[in-house]
Amino acid sequence: TQSQPRSIARAICGFCSTGCGLKVHLNESKQAIGLTADTDYPVNMGMACPKGWEALTPLAAQDRATTPLLHGKPVDWDTALQTFCRKFQAIMDQHGRDSVAFLSTGQIMCEEMAFLGALAKFGMGMVHGDGNTRQCMATSVAAYKESFGFDAPPFTYADFEESDVLVFVGANPCIAHPIMWQRVLRNQNNPHIIVVDPRKTETAMAATQHVAIQPKADLLLLYCLARWFVDHGVIAEKFIKEHTCGFEEFREFLKDYAPEHHLSAIGITAAEFEKMARTIAWGERVSFWWTMGVNQGHEATRTAQAIINLALMTGNIGRPGTGANSITGQCNAMGSRLFSNTTNLMGGHDFTNAKHREKVADVLDIPVERIPDRPSLAYDQIIQGIEDGTIKGLWMIATNAAHSWIQQKRVRDLLHKLDFFVVQDMYATTESAELADLVLPAAGWGEKEGTFINSERRIGVSRKVSRAPGQALADFHIFRLIAHYWGCSHMFSLWTSPESVFEILQEISRGQPCEITGIEGYDMLEACGGVQWPWKQSDQSQPKDNGQEVKEGAVKPMQQRRLFEDGKFFTADGRAKFVFAEPRPVLEPTDSDYPLVLLTGRGTSAQWHTQTRTGKSAILRKLYPAEVYVEMHPLDARNRAVKDGDLVRVKSRRSEIKAQVRVTSTVQRGQVFMPMHYAEVNQLTLTSVDPQSRQPSYKHCAVQVGAL
């Protein structure tokens, strides 16, 4: 019968960067009829969060885009693609190659990202393209590149289980990365868990220490901790001397960061500070973890590097249970970082480096002149380009800027200004698709094949388990068709299937820190439970279990590989670098008109980002309120004469929205919290980006809240 599975296919969950393995149950027609979490996969070991369990539901939604739409009217693919090419070509002919751009995503497969980036830049001649990973991981990329010489998160998930102290800064894995949190719960060392966060988040409630700082006081706190370690001799002198550079300058810089002078600005007591510092100093295996609370700040890169500095100066890197570890956001943010060809040339190369351009041109067998010699504008600069009138054509793939980008009303107004706006998505009903001139209907997760790279650098293969509805096509096939219609398909004659592109990407990775030439195709990825980069051809001779006995149910040693175990980093001299700068004030401090700080973040493990997919699941909707809410401290609520459940007006200098109040002491006085999943919230946020990473600052702006 339909309900009895005839076979199983393996997939990697397409929501968050944890990268859980799923077993999808197929009927006799090879169509998915259910799924379970993969008990053999070394990431999740049979666990999945509500989003993973509901991964098939969004595929069956009634509002799937099933045909191309031109100005809202169904057209055939031929008309759609002829229009696509004619319009973009006309804009480029009239205004030059800088007048068009694409905005990509961390949600599609590596092979699709690479195809998009190669097609747009090498085939169509665009210069500008960025991804929604700019909202997510750009800070970690910038921080790691400068400090380690390459965008290289060093950890493996086993580190969650092997630390004796875990320090989470601006991270709430209990709900944002729930399966990673389960790995923390498996830790048998009775670890200290320190959470640095203005809010008493779910993770903070479960921690042994909650360090409830003032919003964006994290950089100051981290410098004061570094100063305390210097003053108390808690530094790894030998490691610093042999494997780092810039420490003496850092020590000098820290003279201004005596903790006692800064504790009131940080918002914690001397006892709280001392306890945190002593706990880290006590730890033999201390791991530092961060995510969006750091990445989405006004000085995000320097904050990430301040965490890296702590790990370096205490020697907590390259050993089990240690590391300066950025937890990625989206299922394939890491794939985007390495292969999307947006602001970096694919394979972790550099557009401005002539040797890198020659290498990539050689592997792809294309003229080197086809590769731009300058990096793309970043996401915010593309948006600014639309405002300035320099960007006139935009192609948006699997992302929803009209909901998710900062100061949302401005973005929506600007998208109207474009001469030609294309959205390629599973749904024609997203806020962005509704503004598009042309909608290209795309297959979703599960309706196509390819690889994702998760937070611990693990490349996993996800199989096709369902047919896309109507005329919807895999993004991969849409790119192939566009190459044909554009007249550049000869450049992609070898790009015939996702696996053939994976082989090309392997070759592009050769000689890079992220080299993956040793992977023997998708079958090896599936058989090994994914493979963490790097994995070179020379690595193939290693026994798959390192010759060690593996207890039943344990993660095999081959499957837990961390970077920098030899103390060598990816910089030219092999040394990690201490990078630091004086903290800058927040960009929109509170005042008498806007007296509250608005914090935004994830509100639940049951919803994903803008709810585009998870909002289709009745089960997931039941796990989360349908209407937008704002969390407020009891004293702030009392001062405004509002009660729990009241409808209030939340107003910033950009806009105002209505929300239901939740009175709770999980937020501090003077702060309110709103979840990012609701479309309204980004009407309030501030247009500002971190200067190094150009990642938007979602985590701090000034608002007022009043009764309606």
From the CB of 331, what's the least distance to ligand SF4, in Å? 6
Query: Which residues 169-188 are close enough to bind ligand SF4 by CB under 6 A?
Result: 178-179
- With a CB cutoff of 8 Å and minimum separation 6, the contacts of 457 are 153, 334, 514, 532, 533
From the CB of 43, what's the least distance to ligand SF4, in Å? 8
From the CB of 608, what's the least distance to ligand SF4, in Å? 7
Name the residue nearer to ligand SF4 (CB basis): 279 or 605.
Answer: 605
119-122 own/partner pairs: CB under 8 Å, 24+ apart: 119/479, 119/482, 119/483, 119/486, 119/488, 119/492, 120/341, 120/395, 121/341, 121/370, 121/371, 121/372, 122/364, 122/366, 122/370, 122/371, 122/488, 122/491
Q: How far apart are CA 702 and CA 590, in angstroms?
A: 5
| One-letter-per-residue 3-state SS of 248-290 | HHHHHHHHHCCHHHCHHHHCCCHHHHHHHHHHHHHCCCEEEEE
Q: How far apart are CA 413 and CA 161, in angstroms?
A: 48
Q: Which residue has 């410098």 as its token pair?
A: 223
- With a CB cutoff of 8 Å and minimum separation 6, the contacts of 520 are 540
From the CB of 44, what's the least distance to ligand SF4, in Å? 6
Three-state secondary-structure class, residue 660 = strand
**Residue 193 binds ligand SF4, judged by CB under 6 A:** no
Name the residue nearer to ligand SF4 (CB basis): 61 or 85.
Answer: 61
Report how many residues bind ligand SF4 under the rule CB under 6 A. 13
Name the residue nearer to ligand SF4 (CB basis): 174 or 483.
Answer: 174
C-alpha separations of 601 from 291, 317, 589 in Å: 11, 29, 19
From the CB of 203, what's the least distance to ligand SF4, in Å? 14
Name the residue nearer to ligand SF4 (CB basis): 55 or 667.
Answer: 55
Site string for ligand SF4, 216-245 (x = CB under 6 A): ------------------------------
Single out the segment in contact with ligand SF4 by CB under 6 A; choices: 9-17, 106-114, 183-191, 353-361: 9-17
From the CB of 345, what's the least distance to ligand SF4, in Å? 29
Q: Which residue has 């379970």 as its token pair?
A: 36
* Residue at 376: amino acid letter: S
Name the residue nearer to ligand SF4 (CB basis): 301 or 604.
Answer: 604
**Residue 530 binds ligand SF4, judged by CB under 6 A:** no
Q: How far apart are CA 314 and CA 135, in angstroms?
A: 30
Name the residue nearer to ligand SF4 (CB basis): 18 or 432.
Answer: 18
Query: Which residues 346-385 are close enough to bind ligand SF4 by CB under 6 A?
Result: none
Cβ-in-10-Å burial (0-12, 13-18, 19+) of 587 comes to middle
Site string for ligand SF4, 93-112 (x = CB under 6 A): --------------------
Single out the segment in contact with ligand SF4 by CB under 6 A; choices: 47-55, 149-157, 308-316, 332-340: 47-55
Cis omega (within 30 of 0) on the bond before 595?
Answer: no
Name the residue nearer to ligand SF4 (CB basis): 52 or 498.
Answer: 52
Paired strand residues for 675? 601
Q: How far apart are CA 325 and CA 285, in angstroms?
A: 13
Q: How far apart are CA 230 and CA 539, in angstroms?
A: 39
Name the residue nearer to ligand SF4 (CB basis): 48 or 158.
Answer: 48
Query: Which residues 12-41 are close enough to bind ligand SF4 by CB under 6 A?
Result: 13, 15-16, 18-20
Query: Which residues 641-670 are close enough to bind ligand SF4 by CB under 6 A?
Result: none
Name the residue nearer to ligand SF4 (CB basis): 49 or 103.
Answer: 49
From the CB of 605, what's the least distance to ligand SF4, in Å? 7
Contact 48, 412 (CB under 8 A): no
Query: Which residues 127-166 are close enough to bind ligand SF4 by CB under 6 A?
Result: none
Quick one: which of 24, 49, 225, 481 contacts ligand SF4 (CB under 6 A)?
Answer: 49
C-alpha separations of 523 from 152, 449, 451, 461, 499 in Å: 26, 13, 12, 9, 10
In the complex, which residue's CB is closest to ligand SF4? 52
**Residue 448 binds ligand SF4, judged by CB under 6 A:** no
**Nearest CA among 183, 184, 173, 104 for reference residue 138:** 104
Contact 156, 456 (CB under 8 A): yes
Cβ-in-10-Å burial (0-12, 13-18, 19+) of 674 comes to buried
Three-state secondary-structure class, residue 516 = coil
Sign of the alpha-carbon dihedral angle for 89, 91, 92, 97: negative
From the CB of 34, what's the least distance to ligand SF4, in Å? 15
Residue 76: CB atoms within 10 A of its CB come to 12
Single out the segment in contact with ligand SF4 by CB under 6 A; choices: 45-53, 97-105, 183-191, 696-704: 45-53
Single out the segment in contact with ligand SF4 by CB under 6 A; choices: 44-52, 66-74, 396-404, 630-638: 44-52
Q: Which two tokens stand for residue 38?
A: 């993969």
Name the residue nearer to ligand SF4 (CB basis): 501 or 620.
Answer: 620
**Residue 48 binds ligand SF4, judged by CB under 6 A:** yes
From the CB of 14, what's the least distance to ligand SF4, in Å? 7
**Residue 52 binds ligand SF4, judged by CB under 6 A:** yes
Name the residue nearer to ligand SF4 (CB basis): 51 or 561.
Answer: 51
**Residue 51 binds ligand SF4, judged by CB under 6 A:** yes
Residue 401: CB atoms within 10 A of its CB come to 27
Largest interatomic CA distance in the chain: 73
**Residue 615 binds ligand SF4, judged by CB under 6 A:** no
Single out the segment in contact with ligand SF4 by CB under 6 A; choices: 10-18, 333-341, 524-532, 634-642: 10-18
From the CB of 178, what's the least distance to ligand SF4, in Å? 5
From the CB of 49, what's the least distance to ligand SF4, in Å? 3
Name the residue nearer to ligand SF4 (CB basis): 46 or 574.
Answer: 46
Query: Which residues 297-326 are close enough to bind ligand SF4 by CB under 6 A?
Result: none
H/E element, 507: helix 498-509
Binding site for ligand SF4 (CB under 6 A): 13, 15-16, 18-20, 44, 48-49, 51-52, 178-179
